[in-house]
Amino acid sequence: MATYKSDIILIAGSGDFAFEAANFLSNKEKLNQIVLISKNEKIFNKYKKIISSFDIRDIENIDTIDSIFIEYNKILNHKLGHIQK
Of the candidates 72, 66, 20, the residue with the CA atom closest to the CA atom of residue 46? 20
Q: What is the mean pLDDT of the chain?
A: 77
Which residue(s) pair with 51 in the sheet?
34
| Reported confidence tier of residue 14, pLDDT bands at 50, 70, 90 | confident
In eight-state DSSP terms, residue 29 is T
Q: Are β-strands 51-53 and 2-4 bridged in parallel, bridged antiparallel, or unpaired? A: unpaired
pLDDT, tens digit, for every residue of 25-46? 999 988 988 888 888 999 999 9
Handedness of CA 9, 20, 26, 80 (dihedral sign): positive
Which residues does residue 11 pair with via DSSP β-bridges, in sequence order? 35
Q: Where are the domains of the chain?
A: 2-84
31 forms beta bridges with 8
pTM of the full structure: 0.63
